[in-house]
Amino acid sequence: MKTSEKSPHYPLGFRRSLAPLVSAIALQSACGTSPGSDQGSVGGAAPSAGGTTPTAGGSGGMLASGGTPSGGVGGSSQSGGASAGGSLSSGGALSGGSGGVASGGSEGSVGGAGTGGSVASTCVPDGKAHNPLVTQIFTADPNAIVYGDRIYVYTSHDEDNQEGFDMVDYHAFSSDDMVNWQDHGVLIHANQLSWAQNLYAPGACSKNGKYYIYIPNSGSAIGVGVSDDPGGPFEDPLGRALITPSFPNANVPWLFDPACFIDDDGQAYLYFGGGNSGANARAVRLNDDMVSIKDSSATTIPTTAFFEASFMHKREGKYYFSYSSDFSNGHGAALEYLMSDSPMSGFEYKGAFVPNAQINNGNNNHGSIIEFQGKSYVFYHNRKLEQELGVDKVNNRSVALQELTYKADGTINTVTMSQDDHTVSQLKCLDGFLEVQAERLAEEQGIEVEGKAGETIRIAQISNNDWVAYSQVDFHDGATKLVAKVASSSAGGTIDIVVDGCIGGAAGTSIGTCAVVSTGGAQQFAELQCPIESTAGGHDLCLRFGDSPSFQLDSWHLE
């Protein structure tokens, strides 16, 4: 990606607030912890974990600046997935590898990828999800679904500076804590689909161990992608669309916005459609194979002011069909809903539950609702990021997340679209002793996430003062090292390891700075050993880059 096409960053004001700190960091030694760090200062910030026991005052420096790789074992190339990386230990030499994911799979998907053992945790998270959820790209049309112990949010990907809706690929973001969201890269691209040019709002489902995304070709047809992993990559099993306007009763103005729903008895449904008036919502039952239709014609779901963005969820035996409303009297791209006792008929209109707002420029909206670990959440998109960036269009959207509650009778309490920078509470700490994909982040500045699902997804296009931050990382009863899996064809650049900083613009405290050496290739990932001041408990962790970084970052863990 050319610099001019670089994805959205935080507004300038945000950058400026970091400037003085970044200059100070440049004075630190290239390797090891900051000279003069205050012993115990980090420990003071650690919640009830016995504080920090700093190691010998700011020493360390295991990694010799300018070290060169030797051995050449275990490095991974970008294509064919991330394999075990080599390790850059003292003096910058490559040694044995660890971690990584199997070729073809998704990094850190259901089941996770991890190294290292865990010890007792006292971390109590106090993080909040960023609004919008993702800033490295523009995202829209969130279709959230719970798979195992993680939420996956499948999104359209608004291209930077797009004039219309020119989207050509999908991303998924997954989390088990609501605040750190892993970018699974490009799941599928329009150039893989002979029948599609523009990929609009996706719908997701899983059955019989397979994961499906239903794919609209703008407003003209719906196809399907399948994968063995919720994080992709997805393939097109049919080589054609699944639903076209010739399917009986499917010829609506916009044949798009598929939402997949599987009932408790295993029957799968697809809801779709769009166009002004309440007559354009449709539903069909899918066969068990999930790639063919059981019904001989689509069923109309009568709605009030239906526009687009069908979604179905079930709660306590009631079916909720939600959608984005048209611009007729008193509506205007609000998220509205119907309720019923059955999935395809008998719906009663209940009204709007997310009124549209200025933060969305009064333009289109698209939502989904899930229940996760005892709470309900609504995902939708807004225009907050493009407003902050001064892009001032309507086509660069960003996904947001808020909690949703119900009344005793099952109707939904109104959710006011949040203007805040942070919304829902973090559910658990991020275990730093397990391998953490670098793109499983809470907030960032300046970086890009690159890669296709099934390959090495990584932090890339890193410039001076860029950073990536993780909310409420569990350092357990003490970590003394951060091991970062990096790739670089030359020596250059530093990673400053900061606790209790970067999220929300906080300065934080540096607990170590690591110089990156050559790993033998721009896509040759190897482990860089970065000593840190011994740090315990729960902390926001920020990796701040400097000194002309020319590397990419795949993952990290604490030891």
Q: Which long-range contacts (CB under 8 A, 24 or more apart) does 420-423 make?
A: 420/131, 421/130, 421/131, 421/504, 422/128, 422/129, 422/130, 422/131, 422/504, 423/128, 423/129, 423/130, 423/131
Of 200, 320, 379, 551, the one binding ligand FUB by CB under 6 A: 200
Q: Is 140 one of the binding residues for ligand FUB (CB under 6 A)? A: yes
Among 308, 336, 466, 500, contact with ligand FUB (rule: CB under 6 A):
308
Selected from 107, 141, 229, 455, the binder of ligand FUB by CB under 6 A is: 141
Q: Are 425 and 178 in contact (CB under 8 A)?
A: yes
Contact call for residue 156 and ligand FUB (CB under 6 A):
yes
Are 18 and 465 spatial neighbours (Cβ–Cβ below 8 Å)? Answer: yes
d(CA 31, CA 448): 25
From the CB of 141, what's the least distance to ligand FUB, in Å?
Answer: 5
Question: According to CB under 6 A, which one of 205, 309, 412, 502 is a site residue for ligand FUB?
Answer: 309
CB of 447: closest distance to ligand FUB in angstroms? 25
Q: Which is nearer to ligand FUB, 165 or 347 (CB)?
A: 165
Size of the site for ligand FUB (CB under 6 A): 12
CB of 324 to ligand FUB, least distance (A): 6
Contact residues for 246 (Cβ-Cβ < 8 A; gap 6+) = none
501-503-504-505 Cα dihedral, nearest 10 degrees: 50
d(CA 253, CA 256): 9
260 binds ligand FUB (CB under 6 A): no
User: In b/e form, how buried is each residue of 286-321, taking b as 16+ CB within 10 angstroms?
Assistant: beeebbebebeebbbbebbbbbbbbbbbeeeeebbb
Considering only residues 103 to 122 of the shown chain, the ones binding ligand FUB according to CB under 6 A are: none
Q: Nearest approach, Cβ of 216 to ligand FUB (angstroms)?
A: 6
- Whole-number minimum distance, CB 171 to ligand FUB, in Å? 13
List binders of ligand FUB among 354-373 (CB under 6 A): 364, 366
Task: Name which of 202, 247, 175 is nearest 428 in CA terms.
Answer: 175
Q: Give the burial class of 71: count Cβ atoms within 10 A of its Cβ; 0-12 exposed, 13-18 middle, 19 or more buried.
A: middle
CA atoms within 13 A on the CB side of 101: 28
Query: Is 484 in contact with 553 (CB distance < 8 Å)?
Result: yes
Interface residue with ligand FUB among 229, 236, 257, 336 (CB under 6 A) is: 257
The label of the residue with tokens 């969305």 reads 360
Residue 182, token pair as written in the block: 């892993």
Helix (H/G/I), strand (E/B), else coil: 431: strand
Q: Which of residues 519-558 bind ligand FUB (CB under 6 A)?
A: none
Q: Is 347 in the site for ligand FUB (CB under 6 A)?
A: no
Q: Could you say which of 141, 229, 466, 500 is catalytic?
A: 141
Whether residue 392 contacts residue 386, with contact meaning beta carbons closer than 8 Å, is answered with: yes
**Which residue, 364 or 518, has its beta carbon nearer to ligand FUB?**
364
141 classed as catalytic: yes
Choose which of 201, 205, 270, 502 interacts with ligand FUB (CB under 6 A): 201
* Least Cβ distance, residue 200 to ligand FUB (angstroms): 4
The 227-256 site mask, x for binding ligand FUB (CB under 6 A), equals -----------------------------x
Within 421-480, the residues that bind ligand FUB by CB under 6 A are none
- Please state the closest distance from residue 326 (CB atom) to ligand FUB, in A: 12
Strand 375-382 vs strand 398-404: parallel, antiparallel, or unpaired?
Answer: antiparallel
Q: Which residue, 46 or 309, is less far from ligand FUB as judged by CB? A: 309
Burial of 16 (0-12, 13-18, 19+ CB in 10 A): exposed
107, 159, 229, 308: the active-site residue = 308
User: Residue from 10, 138, 165, 556 that binds ligand FUB (CB under 6 A)?
Assistant: 165
159 labelled catalytic: no
485 is an interface residue for ligand FUB by CB under 6 A:
no
Secondary structure of residue 505 in the 3-state scheme: helix
Residues from 35 through 74 that contact ligand FUB (CB under 6 A): none
Q: Measured between alpha carbons, how far is 155 from 145 in angstroms, rounded to an integer?
A: 11
The residues annotated as belonging to the active site are 141, 308
User: Which residues of this protein are in contact with ligand FUB, per CB under 6 A?
Assistant: 140-141, 156, 165, 200-201, 256-257, 308-309, 364, 366
